[in-house]
């Protein structure tokens, strides 16, 4: 899952074939590098690596190049290496899931000249420029809407092979989400979702997109709008995106949702939408749950570690914010496969609403950072020194690192202050839609993976009961859903509920909503033909307080399938170190 980047030398003024079909570049063969394997990294609470330490730099890089296929067995663990940008001249055709569930090649590579070396320089953040204010889309003035429409129209009207052209910008997301690049010195594909790279990479993607638009219209004050679907007044489709004659319009949306508020609990195969008031309340409570139980542990909010050479499989985990982000994509994209445009990674950035959505995700990250006192989420150089490459507003290929984007002031933008409800005291989420059940016995999950073809209920033992207040500040209870196998490329979702156990039986209803696992349509088949396996973690400390289960030895976990073909390997609860 390397770091992603826009990679194009200055525009030469020549014209290539249409970028609208993502077919402007010649098809290139996939370069093959020796496969490098390591054992799973195991760290103690203070960050030290247990067992024999082997620096992955030595695993990946020999004195004269790569070692052969290297295996670290026994009790050995590999020290991390920060992700680096890939070989920019080795872009190859990407894959996307086609209508029938297979994989087809698609060209997402930028139009740079492979015969010439690419000069990459560290990006110099501009100084002495106005601070840009990003505003809620539903609060923009007509002049601000018109300015934005004009900027996008001008971007779309650039020559099709210009790196600032709208479709060329959209290719960036495709290339780094659909395996058009391999990580340096590794056969692992670049992927900027499903890990702690998700938020910083997309922050830079938006930053350069915004700077380029400002340059196109010669306005240093230009700031991208955000779709404020986390507040009551902002949950509807912003009206400026609904005009068919506007540069902001996209025909590949689920137009049946235009008159409805955003539904963060939506599933494609369930159109039994409740009244708008219920959706709005559920959305707010979903956000409250995320900020209440994920905030103490950055991994839960932001995603799991991803280090150079890691294969995006097995222990891979998206944070709760990314799952919410996926739900928004899910709700906007077309219902029919291949779920264009927002409903599929390869095409998502072809919809201008993508940027309003992701600016809001960046805003929610900013909100989270303020909740935790603007502390560094991961004091880990593999995160802080991860490098990305983009084409900047001066038509230069530049490199940036995660640590450079953590102070938002350095990036020169602020967010309009919009009051939110979900940072107040948590309230239980009312589950929907369900049918109450009579009391019935429930057992443990068992050692065998189970298809999520129907609701799964299981008794799960807690690691500790009645923790003291000081314990809660240092440790939080986390529910693990392990070995989630994604068996096809279709969109997938399941919801998780927690309830008390009464004399060996589970009584009525689903319990209290803990969160969701959500994936939009994507190729989840690895190069060896296996299906991607992931895990998901849910903070449940506050939830257990709400349901009065603090002293209980066991709880009942319920997994409710909403969409897709999944199997689950198991469920368990652990205590995890908090950021406090």
Q: Around 526, how many Cα atoms within 13 Å sit in the side-chain half-sphere?
A: 15
The first and second tokens of residue 317, run together, are 């985990």
Q: What distance in Å separates the CA atoms of residue 209 and residue 216, rounded to the nearest whole number?
A: 11
Nearest to 197 by CA among 387, 60, 444: 387
Nearest to 106 by CA among 21, 31, 190, 7: 21
Q: Around 186, how many Cα atoms within 13 Å sit in the side-chain half-sphere?
A: 27
> Between vectors from CA 281 to CA 277 and to CA 282, what angle results, nearest 5°?
115
The first and second tokens of residue 262, run together, are 């955003």
Report, as residue numbers or ranges, the catalytic residues: 173, 193, 202, 325, 329, 345, 358
Q: Around 501, how many Cα atoms within 13 Å sit in the side-chain half-sphere?
A: 21
Cβ neighbours around 144 below 10 Å, total: 16
Cβ neighbours around 143 below 10 Å, total: 8
- The 3 state secondary structure assigned to 205-237 is HHHHHHHHHHHHCCCCCCCCCECCCCCHHHCCC
Contacts for 145 with CB less than 8 Å, ≥ 6 apart = 240
Secondary structure percentages of the chain, helix, strand, coil, to 5? 25, 20, 55
Cβ neighbours around 57 below 10 Å, total: 14
Q: What distance in Å separates the CA atoms of residue 349 and residue 361, rounded to the nearest whole number?
A: 15
**Is omega for the bond preceding 64 within 30 degrees of 0, making it cis?**
no
Q: What distance in Å separates the CA atoms of residue 558 and residue 513, rounded to the nearest whole number?
A: 9
Facing residues of 517 across strands?
A: 494
Burial 377-400 (b: 16+ CB within 10 A, else e): bbebebbbebbbbbbbbeeebbbb
């Amino acid at each position: 899952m390397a770091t992603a980047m826009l990679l194009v030398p200055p525009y030469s003024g020549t014209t290539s074939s249409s970028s609208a079909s993502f077919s402007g570049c010649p098809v290139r063969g996939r370069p093959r590098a020796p496969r490098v394997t390591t054992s799973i990294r195991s760290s103690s609470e203070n960050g030290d690596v247990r067992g024999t330490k082997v620096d992955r730099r030595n695993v990946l890089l020999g004195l004269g190049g790569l070692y052969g296929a290297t295996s670290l067995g026994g009790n050995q663990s590999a020290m991390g290496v920060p992700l680096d940008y890939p070989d920019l001249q080795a872009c190859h055709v990407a894959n996307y899931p086609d209508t029938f569930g297979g994989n087809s090649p698609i060209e997402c590579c930028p139009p740079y000249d492979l015969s010439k070396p690419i000069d990459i320089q560290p990006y110099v953040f501009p100084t002495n420029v106005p601070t840009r204010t990003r505003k809620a889309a539903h609060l923009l003035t007509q002049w601000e809407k018109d300015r934005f429409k004009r900027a996008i129209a001008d971007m779309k009207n650039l020559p099709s092979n210009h790196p600032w052209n709208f479709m060329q910008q959209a290719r960036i997301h495709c290339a780094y989400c659909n395996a058009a690049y391999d990580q340096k010195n590794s056969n692992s594909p670049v992927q900027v979702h499903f890990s702690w790279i998700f938020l910083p990479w997309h922050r830079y993607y938006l930053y350069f997109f915004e700077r380029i638009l400002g340059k196109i219209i010669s306005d240093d004050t230009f700031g991208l709008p955000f779709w404020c679907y986390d507040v009551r007044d902002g949950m509807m489709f912003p009206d400026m995106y609904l005009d068919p004659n506007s540069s902001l319009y996209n025909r590949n949306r689920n137009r049946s949702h235009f008159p409805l508020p955003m539904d963060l609990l939506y599933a494609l195969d369930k159109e039994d939408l409740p009244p708008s008031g219920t959706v709005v309340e559920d959305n707010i409570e979903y956000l409250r749950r995320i900020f209440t139980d994920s905030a103490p542990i950055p991994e839960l909010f932001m995603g799991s570690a991803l280090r150079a050479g890691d294969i995006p499989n097995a222990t891979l985990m998206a944070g709760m914010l990314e799952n919410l982000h996926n739900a928004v994509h899910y709700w906007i994209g077309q219902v029919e496969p291949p779920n264009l445009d927002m409903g599929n990674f390869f095409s998502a950035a072809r919809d201008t609403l993508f940027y309003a959505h992701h600016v809001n995700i960046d805003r929610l990250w900013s909100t989270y950072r303020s909740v935790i006192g603007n502390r560094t989420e991961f004091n880990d150089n593999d995160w802080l020194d991860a490098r990305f490459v983009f084409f900047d507003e001066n038509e230069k290929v530049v490199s940036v690192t995660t640590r450079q984007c953590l102070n938002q002031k350095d990036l020169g933008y602020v967010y309009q202050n919009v009051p939110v409800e979900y940072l107040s005291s948590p309230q239980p989420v009312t589950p929907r839609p369900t049918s109450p059940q009579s009391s019935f016995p429930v057992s443990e999950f068992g050692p065998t993976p189970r298809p999520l073809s129907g609701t799964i209920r299981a008794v799960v033992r807690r690691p500790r009961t009645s923790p003291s207040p000081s314990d809660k500040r240092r440790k939080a209870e986390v529910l693990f859903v392990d070995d989630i196998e994604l068996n096809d490329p279709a969109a997938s979702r399941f919801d998780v509920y927690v309830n008390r156990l009464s004399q060996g039986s589970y009584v009525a209803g689903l319990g209290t909503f803990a969160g969701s696992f959500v994936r939009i349509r994507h190729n989840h088949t690895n190069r060896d033909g296996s299906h991607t396996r992931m895990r998901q973690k849910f903070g449940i400390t506050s939830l257990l307080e709400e349901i009065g289960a603090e002293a209980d030895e066991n709880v009942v976990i319920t997994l409710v399938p909403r969409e897709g073909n999944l199997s689950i390997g198991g469920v368990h609860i652990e205590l995890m170190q908090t950021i406090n």
